[in-house]
Structure formats: structure tokens, C-alpha cells
Amino acid sequence: MALHVVSARTDPALLAMPWSRALAEWDDWYVISLPLGLSRHVVRVIQVNKQFLAVKETEEAIALREYHLLRDLQRADLPAVTPRGVVTGRTDVDEDPLPAALLTEHLHYSLSYRTVFANGLRGDQVAALVDALVVLLVRLHLSGFYWGDVSLSNVLFRRSAGGFAAFLVDAETGELHERLSDTRREHDLTLARENIFAELMDLRASGATEIDIDGFAVVDLLVERYHALWDELTEAEEFSTDEWYRVEQRIARLNDLGFDVDELDIHTDADRVRIQPKVVEAGHHRRELRDLTGLLVEDAQARKLLNDLAAFTAANDLGDQPPAQVARHWLTTIYSPIVDLLPTGVRRELAPAEYFHEVMEHRWALSERAGHEVDIFDAAADYIEKVLPQRPSDTAMDTRSASGSETRRAD
């Protein structure tokens, strides 16, 4: 077997995996037990040294094309899984050819939509799931990416400050263009309606969720919110020359949605002004938090942490201090000590920023019941004692397999 590996970062341990066997036949020694979405391909999660990789068997040309497309999305800082390589030239012990294998990083803290629905999703949270998919689709379209197979099965979700963030995991049918036409955008929306409706109906019929899902309402909401967000990010706005404040208002609205305006097209004619965002970039709050603290979290989480930082600044009368200095003080006296209280065994499945958000929500509930503000450390201790043990697990990880690469054999 003459293996050929195309990889951004080649790990020699990768070559020791049993590539001469079909992926479906790999035993538990190599495969990590993690929840996966539905796929028309054989997909497994494996451990190579300390890294978890998703492996998908497919045709060589398709695997190479998807690998390079995912690298393009990565360079554009879009929410998609990170490509790690393609293994070709595989044959079995009888020298019969085996499919190529596409390798991507397993997205830490991620959930398939079936796991989300099975693990206590409430009916009032379905809209948050839709919003996450809408933001993903709009961001991809703004960057000229035509998906060609929009579905819940091709997305992974992370919990984000009570809501969700969505990531593309399958770009097999995708195309990257300089600019995406309205026709292609609408075709992606049509595919989304058809695929997601079918997936939701299958979910309900299988009994995998207790939520009474109205598939028509969900896909209608997706299309409605997609158009609303797209229009807010791209539509031209006209006003009189004595209303220049509306430029700042438009930028502020986009910031509230989590986007920055990198380029604004402004035209003046007589007493009228016409503005149109030309380039917008997601991640407004996460960039602000990163610049202040070095923390890199989802945008909704960043917004909640920034709110807590603002409250900390006001409560300690630190408004006259440099923001970065206050942020470091908050990080070392509040955020990091609270995160350090999280039991080690839980950290694999609960992101620190999401845990901190949940502690903040618990603190608010405790304070409301007590009639006064509860100390955040007392709230964290109460959360860990009473709430965390009852919190549904988001993963079904085989802890034996995930315990460390030093116990794995090399052949």
C-alpha cells in the first residue's frame, strides 16, 4: 500500500493508523465514542496523540476538493471545521482499493442537532437554534460561499450564552465565488427549507425529542430571519443631510448584531445621503473581549462577559482606569477564579465561558429569590453543588479512549 498524505501539519502517528482496513471496521482501540450527526459517508472520530480528528471516507477527488475548500474557509475565518489532511492510495490486505479519507479537527464542545434535541432542548430554544443557522448561512453567503447542501446534518452546534453558535462540517457540494448571486442564495434557502423540514419530521417520527415540532413554522422562521439579517447587513439606507447621526445608529445596530462595518459606501446628492455597508465582519464582541482579556470565546458569550466586565467596572468605581487594566483585574479576580472552581472532569464537555455564563444566570436567579445581590463566588458554589450534577451531559465520550495517547498501540 503506497499511502499518500496531503496535510497542513503531518503527525507521524497518523501513518500508524490502520489505513489498510475500511473505516467501518476500525475497532474501539482507535475510535473515540462521540455523538455524530447523520452522514451518507462512513465517519469516525479517532485520536492521534492528543488530537481528536473526524475521518470521512469518500472519493479521492471529492476529498481533495473539500480539503482545499475548507482551507479557503479557514483562511477567511469562517465558522467551519478545520481541515487537517487527506489520505489517499489506500488498499486492503488483498490490494483492493479503499476510499480516500478526509481528516478534519473534531470541533471541541460541539453537538449534532440530534444531540441538542435529545439533551433537554426546550420548545422556546428552537428559535435560538434557527438563529445560529441563519448567522452561519449569512456569513457564508457574504463571503461568496454557495453551500449546495444546507441541512442540520451538515452543521455542528456549540452552546453559546444560552443560545447556540453553528459551524459548517460538510463542504462537499460547496463553491466559493467572488460574489454570490441572489439566485444561488435563494437556492441555498430552498434547499434549507426542504432538508431541514425533512430532518425535523424524521426527528419527531423517531421519538428522539419530546418537543412538538412544527416543521413548517421552523423553516418559515429560518427564511424570514435570514432575509431580515441579510437586509440589515447589506441594504442601502437613505436620509437627509441633517440626519448624519443615522450613520452611527446603523453601525451601532450592526455591532449589536455582532458585526463590524469594515467598509461603508456613502453617497451624497443635494440634501440626501445614501449609505450601504460594503464589507461587514462578524465577531464584534469576541474581538473586543479578546483585545481586552486575551479570551477567545463565541460572540454571544463575549457579549455576556463584556456586560459582566462593565458591571464590575461600575461596582468598583473603576471607570477612570484604562479599560485593559480593569479587564486584567476582572480576569484575575473574578473570571479565572470562578472557572478554576469547575470540576476537572466536567471541563471536557462544558466550555469555561459557557459555564461562567450559566453561573451568572444562576446568580441572577438566586439574587431575585433572596431580594439582594448574591456574591458570585457563593453563586458558583451553589451552582456546582446543586445545578451542575443535574445538567444533561452534551457528550457521550468514551473516557477510556480519551484518557491519553500514551496507552494506544501504534499498529
Q: What does the pLDDT average to over 317-344?
A: 93
Task: Give the tens place of pLDDT for each residue, 41-53.
Answer: 888 888 888 788 9
Q: Walk me through the domains of the chain, giving residue ranges and CATH numbers.
A: 4-106 (3.30.200), 110-234 (1.10.510.10), 237-282 (no CATH), 292-390 (no CATH)
Whether 102 has a pLDDT exceeding 90, the answer reads yes
pTM of the predicted model as reported, rounded to 2 decimal places: 0.84
Q: How are beta strands 163-168 and 259-269 bridged, if at all?
A: unpaired
**Short-list 139, 129, 132, 134, CA closest to 260:** 139
Cα distance between residue 254 and residue 248, in whole Å: 10
Q: Strand pairing partners for 341?
A: none
Look at residue 104 in the predicted model and tell me its pLDDT. Answer: 93
In this prediction, residues 182-197 reach a mean pLDDT of: 96
Pairing status of strand 145-146 against strand 163-168: unpaired
Dist CA 386 CA 374 (whole Å): 16
pLDDT at residue 73 in the model: 95
For the stretch 37-85, pLDDT in tens is 566 788 888 888 878 899 999 999 999 999 999 999 999 999 999 999 8
- Residue 249 is inside which H or E element, if any? helix 245-256
The CA angle 81-83-84, to the nearest 5 degrees, is 135
Residue in the block written with cell 462540517: 169
Q: What is the pLDDT of residue 35?
A: 59
Q: What is the pLDDT of residue 405?
A: 33
Among residues 18, 15, 20, 17, the alpha carbon closest in space to that of 5 is found at 15
pLDDT at 407: 33
Of 167, 173, 34, 19, the residue nearest 86 (C-alpha)? 19
